[in-house]
Amino acid sequence: MTATLVPRGRLRPVSVGGARLARPVAWALVGLLGLVTLVAVFARQLAPYNPIQPVGPLNLPPLSPGHLLGTDGIGRDLLSRTLIGIQVSWLSALVVVASGLLIGGTIGLIAGATGGWVDAILLMRVTDLFLALPGALVAIAIVAALGSGLVNTLIGVAIVWWPYYARIVRGEVKALAARPHVEAARLAEVSRPRILTRHLLPGVVPTAVVSASLDVGNVVLLLAALSFLGLGQKAPAPELGADTARSLSQLLSQWWVPGIPGIAVLMLSLIANLGGDAIRNLMPVRR
Protein backbone atom coordinates (compact mmCIF):
# COMPACT_ATOMS: atom_id res chain seq x y z
CA MET A 1 0.00 0.00 0.00
CA THR A 2 2.91 2.31 0.55
CA ALA A 3 3.27 2.91 -3.18
CA THR A 4 -0.30 4.09 -3.54
CA LEU A 5 -0.68 6.37 -0.61
CA VAL A 6 0.65 9.66 -1.89
CA PRO A 7 -2.30 11.81 -2.90
CA ARG A 8 -2.12 14.33 -5.64
CA GLY A 9 -3.81 17.64 -5.87
CA ARG A 10 -3.71 19.71 -2.77
CA LEU A 11 -0.77 19.84 -0.47
CA ARG A 12 1.90 18.91 -2.90
CA PRO A 13 5.34 20.11 -1.93
CA VAL A 14 6.01 23.49 -3.47
CA SER A 15 9.12 22.36 -5.29
CA VAL A 16 10.28 18.86 -6.04
CA GLY A 17 13.93 18.00 -5.67
CA GLY A 18 15.37 20.33 -3.12
CA ALA A 19 14.18 23.41 -1.34
CA ARG A 20 13.99 26.67 -3.19
CA LEU A 21 16.66 29.20 -2.46
CA ALA A 22 15.58 32.13 -0.41
CA ARG A 23 15.56 35.34 -2.41
CA PRO A 24 18.49 37.05 -0.65
CA VAL A 25 20.65 33.95 -1.12
CA ALA A 26 19.68 33.78 -4.76
CA TRP A 27 20.56 37.44 -5.29
CA ALA A 28 23.88 36.91 -3.53
CA LEU A 29 24.70 34.06 -5.92
CA VAL A 30 23.75 36.13 -8.94
CA GLY A 31 25.97 38.87 -7.51
CA LEU A 32 28.78 36.33 -7.33
CA LEU A 33 28.28 35.54 -11.02
CA GLY A 34 28.60 39.21 -11.78
CA LEU A 35 31.68 39.50 -9.59
CA VAL A 36 33.43 36.62 -11.36
CA THR A 37 32.61 38.18 -14.71
CA LEU A 38 34.00 41.53 -13.51
CA VAL A 39 37.17 39.84 -12.26
CA ALA A 40 37.49 38.08 -15.60
CA VAL A 41 37.05 41.30 -17.57
CA PHE A 42 39.53 43.29 -15.47
CA ALA A 43 41.98 40.44 -14.88
CA ARG A 44 44.86 42.29 -16.58
CA GLN A 45 44.42 45.27 -14.25
CA LEU A 46 44.07 43.05 -11.18
CA ALA A 47 47.04 40.81 -11.87
CA PRO A 48 50.04 42.01 -9.77
CA TYR A 49 52.70 40.62 -12.14
CA ASN A 50 53.22 39.69 -15.73
CA PRO A 51 51.81 36.14 -15.89
CA ILE A 52 54.31 34.90 -18.46
CA GLN A 53 57.61 36.17 -17.06
CA PRO A 54 59.38 34.53 -14.09
CA VAL A 55 59.10 37.10 -11.30
CA GLY A 56 60.16 35.34 -8.11
CA PRO A 57 61.84 32.33 -6.53
CA LEU A 58 60.77 28.90 -7.75
CA ASN A 59 57.91 26.96 -6.16
CA LEU A 60 57.01 29.44 -3.41
CA PRO A 61 54.07 28.10 -1.36
CA PRO A 62 50.82 30.15 -1.11
CA LEU A 63 50.67 33.09 1.35
CA SER A 64 54.32 33.92 0.74
CA PRO A 65 55.04 37.66 0.98
CA GLY A 66 54.56 39.30 -2.40
CA HIS A 67 53.06 36.17 -3.94
CA LEU A 68 49.67 35.49 -2.42
CA LEU A 69 49.15 32.16 -4.18
CA GLY A 70 52.82 31.30 -4.50
CA THR A 71 54.86 30.69 -7.66
CA ASP A 72 55.27 27.81 -10.05
CA GLY A 73 58.26 25.70 -11.14
CA ILE A 74 59.88 28.52 -13.14
CA GLY A 75 59.02 31.35 -10.76
CA ARG A 76 55.87 32.78 -12.39
CA ASP A 77 53.30 34.37 -10.07
CA LEU A 78 50.37 31.92 -9.63
CA LEU A 79 47.84 34.61 -8.69
CA SER A 80 48.50 36.47 -11.91
CA ARG A 81 48.39 33.29 -13.99
CA THR A 82 45.14 32.18 -12.34
CA LEU A 83 43.48 35.55 -12.84
CA ILE A 84 44.36 35.65 -16.54
CA GLY A 85 43.39 31.97 -16.77
CA ILE A 86 39.98 32.78 -15.28
CA GLN A 87 39.60 35.54 -17.82
CA VAL A 88 40.29 33.24 -20.75
CA SER A 89 38.24 30.27 -19.48
CA TRP A 90 35.26 32.18 -18.10
CA LEU A 91 34.76 34.56 -20.99
CA SER A 92 35.30 31.76 -23.53
CA ALA A 93 32.85 29.52 -21.76
CA LEU A 94 30.25 32.29 -21.65
CA VAL A 95 30.70 32.99 -25.35
CA VAL A 96 30.40 29.30 -26.29
CA VAL A 97 27.37 28.70 -24.08
CA ALA A 98 25.66 31.90 -25.17
CA SER A 99 26.16 31.15 -28.86
CA GLY A 100 25.00 27.57 -28.26
CA LEU A 101 21.87 28.84 -26.53
CA LEU A 102 21.19 31.31 -29.30
CA ILE A 103 21.65 28.90 -32.20
CA GLY A 104 20.34 25.76 -30.53
CA GLY A 105 17.52 27.59 -28.78
CA THR A 106 16.27 29.19 -31.99
CA ILE A 107 16.38 25.90 -33.89
CA GLY A 108 14.75 24.00 -31.04
CA LEU A 109 12.04 26.61 -30.61
CA ILE A 110 11.12 26.65 -34.28
CA ALA A 111 11.33 22.89 -34.67
CA GLY A 112 9.34 22.18 -31.52
CA ALA A 113 6.61 24.69 -32.23
CA THR A 114 6.25 23.89 -35.91
CA GLY A 115 6.48 20.11 -35.83
CA GLY A 116 5.93 18.11 -39.00
CA TRP A 117 8.66 17.98 -41.64
CA VAL A 118 10.42 21.09 -40.35
CA ASP A 119 10.90 19.30 -37.05
CA ALA A 120 11.83 16.02 -38.73
CA ILE A 121 14.46 17.45 -41.08
CA LEU A 122 15.72 20.51 -39.25
CA LEU A 123 16.03 18.79 -35.94
CA MET A 124 15.83 15.03 -36.06
CA ARG A 125 18.31 14.78 -38.93
CA VAL A 126 20.71 17.68 -38.66
CA THR A 127 20.85 17.80 -34.89
CA ASP A 128 21.16 14.06 -34.56
CA LEU A 129 23.99 14.15 -37.08
CA PHE A 130 25.89 16.58 -34.88
CA LEU A 131 25.04 14.66 -31.73
CA ALA A 132 26.23 11.41 -33.28
CA LEU A 133 29.72 12.79 -33.90
CA PRO A 134 32.12 12.87 -30.98
CA GLY A 135 32.05 16.55 -30.07
CA ALA A 136 35.63 16.97 -28.92
CA LEU A 137 37.05 15.29 -32.05
CA VAL A 138 34.94 17.41 -34.37
CA ALA A 139 36.07 20.51 -32.50
CA ILE A 140 39.68 19.41 -32.93
CA ALA A 141 39.13 18.80 -36.64
CA ILE A 142 37.54 22.21 -37.07
CA VAL A 143 40.35 23.94 -35.18
CA ALA A 144 42.92 22.02 -37.19
CA ALA A 145 41.25 23.17 -40.39
CA LEU A 146 40.93 26.81 -39.30
CA GLY A 147 44.35 26.98 -37.69
CA SER A 148 44.99 27.02 -33.95
CA GLY A 149 44.28 30.04 -31.80
CA LEU A 150 41.72 31.04 -29.19
CA VAL A 151 39.15 32.50 -31.58
CA ASN A 152 39.24 29.47 -33.88
CA THR A 153 38.95 27.16 -30.88
CA LEU A 154 35.86 29.01 -29.74
CA ILE A 155 34.33 28.74 -33.19
CA GLY A 156 35.12 25.03 -33.27
CA VAL A 157 33.62 24.35 -29.83
CA ALA A 158 30.56 26.51 -30.51
CA ILE A 159 29.82 24.53 -33.68
CA VAL A 160 29.64 21.24 -31.78
CA TRP A 161 27.93 22.71 -28.72
CA TRP A 162 24.51 23.94 -29.92
CA PRO A 163 22.78 20.61 -30.71
CA TYR A 164 22.37 19.84 -27.00
CA TYR A 165 20.39 23.03 -26.50
CA ALA A 166 18.35 22.42 -29.62
CA ARG A 167 17.33 19.07 -28.14
CA ILE A 168 16.50 20.41 -24.70
CA VAL A 169 14.57 23.41 -25.99
CA ARG A 170 12.67 21.35 -28.54
CA GLY A 171 11.52 18.89 -25.89
CA GLU A 172 10.38 21.65 -23.56
CA VAL A 173 8.59 23.50 -26.35
CA LYS A 174 6.81 20.31 -27.42
CA ALA A 175 5.57 19.77 -23.87
CA LEU A 176 4.49 23.40 -23.53
CA ALA A 177 2.80 23.50 -26.93
CA ALA A 178 0.47 20.72 -25.79
CA ARG A 179 -0.80 22.86 -22.93
CA PRO A 180 -4.23 24.49 -23.26
CA HIS A 181 -2.78 27.98 -22.88
CA VAL A 182 -1.20 27.71 -26.33
CA GLU A 183 -4.48 26.52 -27.80
CA ALA A 184 -6.24 29.36 -26.04
CA ALA A 185 -3.79 31.80 -27.59
CA ARG A 186 -4.38 30.30 -31.02
CA LEU A 187 -8.12 30.70 -30.55
CA ALA A 188 -7.57 34.28 -29.43
CA GLU A 189 -6.08 34.88 -32.88
CA VAL A 190 -2.59 35.59 -31.60
CA SER A 191 -0.05 35.59 -34.44
CA ARG A 192 2.41 32.71 -34.76
CA PRO A 193 5.57 34.72 -34.03
CA ARG A 194 3.93 36.14 -30.93
CA ILE A 195 2.87 32.68 -29.71
CA LEU A 196 6.51 31.63 -30.14
CA THR A 197 8.01 34.57 -28.33
CA ARG A 198 5.39 35.28 -25.66
CA HIS A 199 3.56 32.03 -24.98
CA LEU A 200 6.32 29.47 -25.50
CA LEU A 201 9.77 31.05 -25.15
CA PRO A 202 9.49 32.30 -21.54
CA GLY A 203 8.51 28.82 -20.41
CA VAL A 204 11.67 27.35 -21.90
CA VAL A 205 14.10 29.87 -20.47
CA PRO A 206 14.39 28.35 -16.95
CA THR A 207 15.35 24.91 -18.22
CA ALA A 208 17.68 26.33 -20.85
CA VAL A 209 19.42 28.61 -18.37
CA VAL A 210 19.94 25.83 -15.86
CA SER A 211 21.32 23.36 -18.37
CA ALA A 212 23.50 26.09 -19.84
CA SER A 213 24.89 26.96 -16.42
CA LEU A 214 25.67 23.30 -15.80
CA ASP A 215 27.51 23.33 -19.10
CA VAL A 216 29.84 26.23 -18.32
CA GLY A 217 32.03 23.84 -16.36
CA ASN A 218 32.08 21.36 -19.25
CA VAL A 219 33.15 24.04 -21.71
CA VAL A 220 35.94 25.13 -19.35
CA LEU A 221 37.17 21.54 -19.26
CA LEU A 222 36.89 21.02 -23.02
CA LEU A 223 38.84 24.23 -23.66
CA ALA A 224 41.47 23.03 -21.21
CA ALA A 225 41.74 19.71 -23.01
CA LEU A 226 42.10 21.44 -26.37
CA SER A 227 44.84 23.77 -25.15
CA PHE A 228 46.64 20.80 -23.65
CA LEU A 229 46.71 19.38 -27.19
CA GLY A 230 48.18 22.64 -28.44
CA LEU A 231 44.90 23.90 -29.86
CA GLY A 232 43.71 27.09 -28.28
CA GLN A 233 45.87 29.09 -25.91
CA LYS A 234 49.56 28.56 -26.83
CA ALA A 235 51.88 27.13 -24.19
CA PRO A 236 53.31 30.05 -22.21
CA ALA A 237 49.97 31.84 -22.01
CA PRO A 238 48.09 30.99 -18.81
CA GLU A 239 45.20 28.51 -19.18
CA LEU A 240 43.67 26.88 -16.14
CA GLY A 241 43.19 23.37 -17.54
CA ALA A 242 46.49 23.28 -19.36
CA ASP A 243 48.36 24.63 -16.33
CA THR A 244 46.90 21.88 -14.17
CA ALA A 245 47.71 19.19 -16.67
CA ARG A 246 51.29 20.34 -17.30
CA SER A 247 52.30 20.52 -13.67
CA LEU A 248 50.46 17.41 -12.52
CA SER A 249 53.80 15.70 -11.73
CA GLN A 250 54.32 18.26 -8.97
CA LEU A 251 51.13 17.29 -7.18
CA LEU A 252 52.90 15.44 -4.36
CA SER A 253 55.86 17.79 -3.90
CA GLN A 254 54.29 21.23 -4.59
CA TRP A 255 50.50 20.65 -4.58
CA TRP A 256 49.68 24.28 -5.16
CA VAL A 257 51.20 24.48 -8.62
CA PRO A 258 48.64 22.14 -10.27
CA GLY A 259 46.16 22.57 -7.41
CA ILE A 260 45.40 26.28 -7.62
CA PRO A 261 44.38 26.40 -11.29
CA GLY A 262 42.43 23.17 -10.69
CA ILE A 263 40.59 24.71 -7.76
CA ALA A 264 39.87 27.74 -9.94
CA VAL A 265 38.19 25.47 -12.54
CA LEU A 266 36.20 23.84 -9.76
CA MET A 267 35.11 27.19 -8.36
CA LEU A 268 34.10 28.46 -11.80
CA SER A 269 31.89 25.41 -12.46
CA LEU A 270 30.40 25.60 -8.98
CA ILE A 271 29.60 29.28 -9.23
CA ALA A 272 28.11 28.75 -12.68
CA ASN A 273 25.84 25.98 -11.40
CA LEU A 274 24.68 27.76 -8.27
CA GLY A 275 24.26 31.00 -10.20
CA GLY A 276 22.13 29.22 -12.80
CA ASP A 277 19.91 27.79 -10.10
CA ALA A 278 19.59 31.20 -8.50
CA ILE A 279 18.64 32.86 -11.79
CA ARG A 280 15.96 30.24 -12.37
CA ASN A 281 14.52 30.84 -8.91
CA LEU A 282 14.43 34.58 -9.41
CA MET A 283 12.66 34.35 -12.74
CA PRO A 284 8.98 35.27 -12.41
CA VAL A 285 7.79 32.06 -14.05
CA ARG A 286 5.09 30.03 -12.42
CA ARG A 287 4.12 26.72 -13.83
Partner 1 sequence: MSGLATPVAIVSDYSLSLVRNGIRSQVLKHIDLQIRPGEILGLVGESGSGKSVLALSLLGLLPHSSYPEADGEVTVGGVDMLRAKPAELRRVRREVLGAIFQDPMTSLNPTMRIGKQIGEVTDDDAESVRLLETVGVRDAELRLRVYPHELSGGLRQRVMAAIAVGGRPGLIVADEPTTALDVTVQAQLLDLLRELRADFGCSVLLITHDLGVADQIADRLAVLHDGVLVEIGPAADVVRNPQHEYTRSLLASRLSLTMPRDERFTGAAEPAEPAVRIRDLRRTFTVRRGGGRFRGDSGEINAVDGIDLDIALGEALAIVGESGSGKSTLLRIVAGLDQPTSGSVTLTGTGGPQMVFQDAGSSLTPWMSVGEMLGERLRRLKLSRADVKDRVIAALAAVDLPPEVGKAHPGELSGGQRQRVGLARATMIPPAVLLCDEPTSALDASLAKSMLALIRDLRARIGMTVLFVTHDLAVARLMGDRIAVMQAGRVVELGPAEQVISQPREAYTRTLLAAVPEIVEGAAR
| CB closer to partner 1 out of 123 and 195 | 195
55/59 Cα distance (integer angstroms): 11
Q: How many residues form the binding site for partner 1 (CB under 8 A)?
A: 35
Residue 125 as a binder of partner 1 (CB under 8 A): the answer is: no
Sole binder of partner 1 in the list 185, 221, 229, 237 (CB under 8 A):
185
Q: What is the DSSP letter of 10?
A: T
Give the CA diameter of the chain. Answer: 74
Helices marked H in the chain = 23-41, 43-46, 78-114, 116-117, 126-132, 135-146, 150-177, 180-187, 192-194, 201-228, 240-246, 256-282
Stretch that binds partner 1, among 98-106, 112-120, 132-140, 180-188 (CB under 8 A): 180-188
Give the nearest distance from C-beta 197 to partner 1 in angstroms.
11
Q: Which is nearer to partner 1, 198 or 234 (CB)?
A: 198
Q: How far is the CB of 4 from partner 1 (least distance, A)?
A: 5
Interface with partner 1 (CB under 8 A), residue from 191, 236, 249, 270: 191
Please provide residue 138's backbone torsions phi and psi, each rounded to the nearest 5 degrees: -65, -45
Secondary structure of residue 148 in the 3-state scheme: coil
Residue of 48, 202, 230, 236 interacting with partner 1 (CB under 8 A): 202
Told to check if 198 binds partner 1 by CB under 8 A, we report yes
Positions 5 through 44 that interact with partner 1 (CB under 8 A)? 5-14
| Out of 41, 175, 184, 270, the residue judged to bind partner 1 by CB under 8 A | 184
Closest CA to 87 of 151, 153, 157, 37: 37
d(CA 219, CA 228): 14
Positions touching partner 1 (CB under 8 A) are: 1-14, 179-181, 183-191, 194, 198-199, 202-203, 284-287
